[in-house]
Amino acid sequence: MSRVYNFSAGPTVLPVSVLEQAQKDLVEYKNSGMSVMEMSHRSKDYQAIFDQAKSSLIDIMSIPDNYEVLFLQGGASTQFAMIPMNLISKTGKMDIVNTGTWTQRAMEEAKKFGEVNMVASSKDKMYSYIPELDKSMFSKDASYVHIASNNTIYGTRYTTLPDTGDIPLVADMSSNILSEVYDVSKFGIIFAGAQKNMGPSGVCVVIIRKNLIGHAMSITPTMLDYKIHVENDSMYNTPPTFSIYICGLVYQWVKDQGGVKELQRINESKANLLYDFLDQSSMFRGTVVKKDRSLMNIPFVTGNEELDDRFIKQAKQLGLVNLKGHRSVGGMRASIYNAMPYEGVKTLVEFLKKFEMENK
C-alpha cells in the first residue's frame, strides 16, 4: 500500500483506520450477510448504524437537546436555498457577510426568496480577511444572519463569532466542522457537507434549533422542508446510507483521538508549523491577514507562476498531492483537515524549505 499526503480541499483524506474498518465490513457487515450498501434503510441493522452515527455526532459536538440533527442530500449547496425557504418568511429579509464564493452563492439563492442585505464584504481585498463586525451592523428585522465560519477557497476563518443578538446565526461549517470546539447553542443552524472533515460526499449534516423548524414558505418542496426531515428522522426518502455509515466511523475516530478539543490542539500545531515557515520564508508567503487565518485551508504563493507550477509538480512526485490553489487565488493551497497527520504537514514544510534552498 502506498498512500500519498492528500492536501485536497475536498473530497479528501479520511483516517486510514476508518477505511480499513470499511474494507473489513465491505462484503459483509457484522453478521448481516450483506454490505451496508445493500441494506434497506428501514432494516434493524441499518437503523443501528444510523442511530450510532447521529448519537456520536451529538456527543462529540455536545449538541443540546433543543437541536435536531439531520443527514440530508444535495450537498451544502442545497442549503443555500433550503435555509431561506425555511427561515426567511418571518420578516422576508436576511443578513449575510460576504467572505467569498460560498457566501456569494448563498446570497444569489436567498435573493430568490426574499430581501438580502449584505452586511459587510471582504471582496475589496480578494477575500483575504474577515470584516470587522459589530452588533449594530445587523438589521433589526433580519430573519437570520448567514456566515461561512471557514472559507475553503480563500483560507479565512472567524476566530470570534459575530454577536447577532436574538437573530439566529446560520453558519456554513462545511470546511471546519469538528476542527475546533464550537458552542452549538450560539447558532440557529450549522450545516456542513461531509466531504472534508466527516466522510465521503453525498451527505450534508444540518444541526437546527427546534424553534426554527416548521416555518417553511408555502411553495417549499417537500424535500426542502426541514420539518418533513425532522418528522421522519432523515428517512422521509432513502438517505445516503453508505456515506452516513462512514461518517459514523469518522465520529468514532474523533472520539478515539480524544474528541474535538484534542483535534483542535493538533490542528493548531499543524497549522502553526506551516504558517511559521511561511512567515519567515523569503520565497513563499501566505495570502491571508494573520488574525483571520484558517486552521484547515492554507493558501500561499511565490508571486511567480512558473515557480508555483514547478513546486506543485515536484511536490507531487514526492507524494504531496493536490496542492494547486483554487483557480481564483492561484498559487498553492494546503488543506490540512482533521485526518491529515502532523507528519504530512511536516513533510510538506521540509520540502518547502528544500525547494526554497534549491531555487534561490
Ligand X SMILES: Cc1ncc(COP(=O)(O)O)c(C=O)c1O
Which residue in the set 76, 97, 332, 348 belongs to the binding site for ligand X (CB under 6 A)?
76
DSSP letters, 220-273, are --GGG-HHHHHHTTT-SS---HHHHHHHHHHHHHHHHTTHHHHHHHHHHHHHHH
Read off the C-alpha cell for 302: 511565490
Q: How many CB atoms lie within 10 A of CB 260?
A: 22
325 binds ligand X (CB under 6 A): no
Alpha carbon of residue 28 to chain centroid: 31
d(CA 345, CA 320): 9
Residue 187 has φ and ψ, to the nearest 5°, of: -115, 150
CA angle 291-294-173, nearest 5°?
Answer: 120
Residue nearest to ligand X (CB): 75
CA distances from 298 to 6, 206, 274, 276 (A): 14, 26, 8, 12
In the chain, the N- to C-terminal Cα span, in Å, equals 36
The nearest distance, CB 152 to ligand X, in angstroms, is 3
Please count the residues of this chain forming the interface with ligand X, following the rule CB under 6 A: 11
295 binds ligand X (CB under 6 A): no
Stretch that binds ligand X, among 17-25, 70-78, 85-93, 247-255 (CB under 6 A): 70-78
175 binds ligand X (CB under 6 A): yes
Which 115-154 residues touch ligand X, going by CB under 6 A? 148, 152
CA distances from 14 to 141, 233, 247, 280, 308 (A): 42, 26, 10, 31, 27
346 included as an active-site residue: no
75 binds ligand X (CB under 6 A): yes
d(CA 205, CA 198): 9
Residue 320 has φ and ψ, to the nearest 5°, of: -110, 95
Stretch that binds ligand X, among 54-62, 75-83, 130-138, 334-342 (CB under 6 A): 75-83
225 included as an active-site residue: no
Which 2-31 residues touch ligand X, going by CB under 6 A? 10
Q: How many CB atoms lie within 10 A of CB 124?
A: 9
The nearest distance, CB 81 to ligand X, in angstroms, is 11
The nearest distance, CB 80 to ligand X, in angstroms, is 8
Stretch that binds ligand X, among 74-82, 89-97, 132-140, 255-263 (CB under 6 A): 74-82
- Active-site position among 54, 95, 172, 308: 172
Read off the C-alpha cell for 168: 439566529
308 included as an active-site residue: no
294 binds ligand X (CB under 6 A): no
Stretch that binds ligand X, among 64-72, 119-127, 167-175, 350-358 (CB under 6 A): 167-175
The nearest distance, CB 279 to ligand X, in angstroms, is 25
CB-based burial, 173-188: b 16+ in 10 Å, e otherwise: bbbbbbbbebeeeebb
174 binds ligand X (CB under 6 A): yes
Cβ closer to ligand X: 146 or 270? 146
The nearest distance, CB 31 to ligand X, in angstroms, is 34
Which residue in the set 114, 155, 168, 193 belongs to the binding site for ligand X (CB under 6 A)?
193
Cβ closer to ligand X: 10 or 188? 10
102 binds ligand X (CB under 6 A): yes
- Active-site position among 196, 225, 308, 324: 196
Which 30-69 residues touch ligand X, going by CB under 6 A? none
Helix (H/G/I), strand (E/B), else coil: 195? coil
Which positions are annotated as active-site residues?
102, 172, 196
Binding interface with ligand X (CB under 6 A)? 10, 75-77, 102, 148, 152, 172, 174-175, 193
